[in-house]
Structure 1
Amino acid sequence: MLNPQNTSAAAAAPVVNPDAFIVAKFGGTSVADFTAMSRCADIILADPNIKLIVVSASSGVTNLLVDIAKTSDIGLRLAHYSGIERITYNVLRQLQQQHLVGAAIEQLLLELKTLLQFEREFSDAEKDLLLSFGERLSSVLFAQVLAERGAAVSSFDVRRVMRTDSRFGKAEPQIEAIAGLTVQYLLPLLKQQLIVTQGFIGADGSGQTTTLGRGGSDYSAAILGEAVGARVVQIWTDVVGIFTTDPRLTSAARCIPEISFDEAAEMATFGAKVLHPATLIPAMRQNIPVFVGSSREPEAGGTWISKQVDTKPSYRAIALRKAQTLITVKSPAMLHAAGFLARVFDILSRHQISVDLVTTSEISVALTLDDAPGSAFSHSIEPALAELKTFSEVTVEQDLSLIAVIGNHLHSTRGVTGSLFQALEKINMRLICHGASRHNLCFLVEDKEAATVVKELHQALF
């Protein structure tokens, strides 16, 4: 059976509302080409409970759109556009009734090509409009793949219901507005047919296209799942569930059959690539189970994420996040003084810099920041550091990796901490954070040592 609720490899499916339906999200590799889309169609048609399908852009398309957005050279833009055209037409040519969607695809490509011929840099709003074309193209194509398999299906523009603010590039969904618009425009359609829609994109109150940030398709699916009262949200990707650590780091990594919302949220926050960090927030609000599986191997089962789990091991997984920066702010004025930390965090907040880990001593505070591409760090850190230096000594260390051991009651279970620190005794750590959460212990190491540390730690704990 292709239904993950019936696979022996997965943990038993959580109890859900039998009258509700399933929201299934398919990532970029799952809709990369016609063959991949056909595999996803098999999954959908094998389970009549799947009604709402959310898709990413076909693999490679968003990267090409990002490349277009980065340059004002029309020649380079057109070269990247040719790559998008090639990926799109490779699918279109293999459709039996390509004439039914050919005009829609041609119109989208024409709009895209017209947009990229502005001989200037794009505004933030134009960049979001530009990036939306990947999902808009793949959703039209995938709906036709399903239609040719006999499904009653149509493509739906998610911007009609995915209301956001106007923070282009990383828009914030407006949950109450989305719920109302979904009842008005989307739910009536779902009673009659399958609906294929787009992840990652939305629209503000003025109708301008927005995006939720890279990886936002998972988040979109969870938000829509909340809005329609889904029984389950499925995330179909290119890996068989969530692993005890990145399988590329050690062959000993294994799939986790079940994991709690809290544990999965820690993993996503601290670097696990399978889930977007915000994905679980809507699911947690409404207690909607999330299933993660591979569209290439749906029969292999996957990972169930839910509020209640049968097993709560001390150690569940190890997550790794590279490109971390450690900032140490030191000032004798901090000694026995009130308000010093508030001043530091006020500066970082005003520059929209998010802090992950914090440790303090009598006269200094150490903070870790994520230096990932596209983060606020890249363009906000210099002015923030300049402000901090007006009243303190500031040290910046880069090329660090954050390693997080995820588990249960790590702060209070007798013997667990001791065995963990024994496994860490030979590791040269720059910073360690323990006790703030019952689900993780985090520390920093040099980037060049990170992979080896994860492999050895996994061997010791699992």
Structure 2
Amino acid sequence: MKVFKFGGASVKDAEGVKNVSLVLESEGFENCVLVVSAMGKTTNALEKAVQNYFDKIDYQTEIEKVKQNHLEISKGLFQEHHPVFSEISLFFDDIESFLRRNKSPNYNFVYDQVVSCGEMISSKILSEYLNDIQFKNHWLDARDYIKTDSNYREGNINWEETQRKISELDCDSCFVTQGFIGSEANNFTVTLGREGSDYSAAIFAYCLNAEAMTIWKDVPGVMTGDPRKFENVNLLSNISYEEAIEMAYYGASVIHPKTLQPLKQKNIPFYVKSFLEPKKPGTKVGSSEQTENQETYILKENQNLMRISTRDFAFIAEEHLSQIFALLAKHKITISLMQTSAISFVLCVEDKYDHIDDLNQELQINFNSEVVKNVSLFTVRNAKLEDLNKFYENKNILLEQISKKTIQVVTN
């Protein structure tokens, strides 16, 4: 069994959906699971609708725009009276019906019920199109197979239940399903975190003991830097699970941080390839002795720098760190870099849910704290330390850290 994951850029329009069939023709469509993201910028648009709903302003217009976009894409794929058009309309009717009846004030719960529809619709369109052109497949609702707890927007996998359900699939068939989503015990939708479709693919690969997993991107593979942000970058042909995990931790956007762990546990090779040039080899991630340790560059933007210190000039001790970490966990704020001194604790953090001001307010009850917003974290892996000065050129350095051959600097 093989697992393929197609991201939003690969199915953003009718031509993209058609191109998926060309990739499958190149790779072979036997015994595989296709995991699909929402089309293009659908997730962003549905997020805006949810925000408008809670702000008590017009959310219907945003939903209608998304609906019309999917109908327009479908016109480039199907005959006029194809059943898929009514199915698309039903998905959007369900969104509006849910929002009219909803009584829950829980933003994260509502978010998951609405935003998850992007993957449901894109996977249905792709499945129907492939069946029409004789790539026979079964459409699966991922929520029937990936079971989670009730931690909305960051669902934790119930591995035992998920394994049991996915193991029931017929490995001699082909399936199209959704990334990013699962469901909790009451069958409400739970998303797996932003950009979580790669993780979904890894879950299916793990539970099916897949021979390989491939993520199809608009880049040739894992590069030594994001070509949209850095010049003169190269393709990494072979990297180890360990190096890939490190790169994901430091913010390499081509790999979702949670993806590697289940694959490594069963030694399932993981490929990153271009859907624009499917014949090219891309990058292989696995237990390879040929791992390339080239100098790589990673830029994480939209970060926040926090400086926290004791009010009585006391040392930052274990009990202080315990309080700080508890508040970070409470507000779902993740640490990208940290550095401690005698009386201060400095953090570069990612605030996915806009909780940084609430965190800072709570910290100021017992500490002195300040926040510098919208900073960038620049990381160099396998750095040539003799060339250190070039990493500081034209940068306003707020924080720096050097560890073995990894350099990290926070700039604004």
Structure 1 residue aligned with 2:410, among 421, 435, 444? 444
Would you say the 8 A contact 1:155–1:195 is kept in 2?
yes
Match 1:325 to one of 291, 301, 304: 304
Which one of the candidate residues 27, 52, 60 is aligned to 2:41? Answer: 60
- CA offset digits 1:234-281 (Å, max 9, x no partner): 111222212211212233122222222222222222222222222222
Partner of 2:113: 129
Cα separation, 2, equivalents of 1:199 and 1:368: 29
Matched ranges for 1:298-337 at <5 A? 298-313=278-293, 315-331=294-310, 333-335=313-315
Runs (5+) with no aligned partner, structure 2 = none
| Residues 301 and 386 (structure 1), Cα distance of their counterparts in 2 relative to 1, 3 Å cut | same
Report the equivalent of 2:82: 99
Greater shift, 218-227 or 170-179, is seen at 170-179
Contact 1:347 1:387 in 2 (8 A): no
Instruction: Determine whether 1:236 maps to 2:202.
Output: no
Q: Does the 8 A contact of 2:316 with 2:345 survive in 1?
A: no
How do residues 127-276 of structure 1 correspond to structure 2 at under 5 angstroms?
127-184=111-168, 187-188=169-170, 190-191=171-172, 193-276=173-256
Shift of the 162–68 alpha-carbon distance from structure 1 to 2, 3 Å rule, reads same
How far 1:143 moved relative to its partner?
Answer: 0.7
Q: Are the counterparts in 2 of residues 74 and 119 from structure 1 also a CA contact under 8 Å? A: no
1:69 and 2:50 are equivalent in the alignment = yes
Residues 1:434 and 2:402 are matched in the alignment: yes
Counterpart of 1:270 in structure 2: which amino acid? Answer: Y
Per the TM alignment, residue 400 of structure 1 is displaced from its structure 2 partner at its CA by 2.0
Tell whether the 8 Å contact from 1:74 to 1:117 is kept in structure 2 after alignment.
no
Look up the match of 1:421: 388
The CA RMSD measured in Å over matched residues stands at 2.6
Distance 1:66 1:347, change over 3 A: closer
Task: Count residues in correspondence.
Answer: 406
- Look up the SS of the partner of 2:166 in the other structure: helix
The 2-side partners of 1:75 and 1:354 are apart by 31
Q: Which amino acid aligns with 2:333?
A: I
Matched letter for residue 112 of structure 2: D
User: Whole-Å Cα distance in 2 between the matches of residues 347 and 149 of structure 1?
Assistant: 53
Bigger drift between 71-80 and 138-147 goes to 71-80
* CA apart distance, 1:366: 1.7
- Please report how far the alpha carbon of residue 333 of structure 1 lies from its aligned counterpart in structure 2 after TM superposition: 4.9
Q: TM-score, normalised by structure 1?
A: 0.80
Aligned 8 A contact 1:56 1:199 in 2: yes
Residues 333-354 of structure 1: CA deviation (Å, up to 9, x unaligned): 5449664433433443444433
* Aligned-partner residue type, residue 73 of structure 2: V
The answer (yes or no) to whether the contact 2:10–2:218 under 8 Å persists in 1 is yes
Is the Cα contact below 8 Å between 1:290 and 1:306 reproduced in 2? yes
What is the match of residue 90 of structure 1? 72
The one-letter code matched in structure 1 to 2:199 is Y
**Does structure 1 conserve the Cα–Cα contact (< 8 Å) formed by 2:304 and 2:375?**
yes
Q: Check 1:295–1:74 CA distance in 2 against 1; reply closer, same or farther (3 A cut).
A: farther
Q: Could you state the TM-score of these two structures normalised by the residue count of structure 2?
A: 0.90
- Cα distance in 2 for residues equivalent to 1:362 and 1:378: 24
For 2:314 and 2:307, the matched residues in 1 are separated by 13
User: 2:87 is aligned with what amino acid?
Assistant: A
Q: 1:79 aligns with which of 36, 53, 61?
A: 61
- Asked if the contact 1:348/1:384 (under 8 Å) is kept, the reply is no
Mark the runs of 5 or more structure 1 residues left unpaired by the alignment.
Answer: 1-20, 411-415, 447-462
- CA separation of 1:299 and 1:329: change in aligned 2, threshold 3 A: same
Return closer, same or farther for 1:395/1:273 CA change in 2, 3 Å cut-off: same
Shift of 1:90: 2.0
Q: Is the 8 A contact 1:353 1:380 kept in 2?
A: no
Q: Distance in 1 between matches of 2:347 and 2:5?
A: 35
Once residues 38 and 64 of structure 1 are traced to their aligned partners in structure 2, the CA distance between those partners, rounded to angstroms, is 23
Paired residue for 2:364? 386
Kept after mapping to 1: 8 A contact 2:112/2:191: yes
The answer to whether the 8 Å contact 2:29/2:135 transfers is no
Supply the AA of the counterpart residue of 2:242: D
Instruction: Classify the secondary structure of the residue corresponding to 2:365.
Output: helix
The one of 354, 358, 370 equivalent to 1:395 is: 370
Instruction: Write the deviation string for residues 78-122 of structure 1: whole angstroms up to 9, x where unpaired.
Output: 221222122221233234455243443332232123234459886
Q: Which amino acid aligns with 1:329?
A: I
Q: Could you tell me which residue of structure 2 aligns to residue 10 of structure 1?
A: none
1:405 maps to 2:380: yes
> Do structure 1's residue 369 and structure 2's residue 339 form an aligned pair?
no
AA in 2 matched with 1:443:
V
Give the letter for the 2:33 counterpart.
L
Q: 1:421 is aligned with what amino acid?
A: L
**In 1, distance between residues paired with 2:318 and 2:180?**
43
Residue by residue over 1:122-154, the C-alpha shift from the partner in whole angstroms, topping out at 9 and shown as x without a partner, is 643232111121111111110111112212212
Query: Could you tell which deviates more after superposition, 149-158 or 65-74?
Result: 65-74
Q: Report if the CA contact (8 A) 2:119-2:179 is conserved.
A: yes
Distance (Å, rounded) in 2 between the aligned partners of 1:423 and 1:49: 49
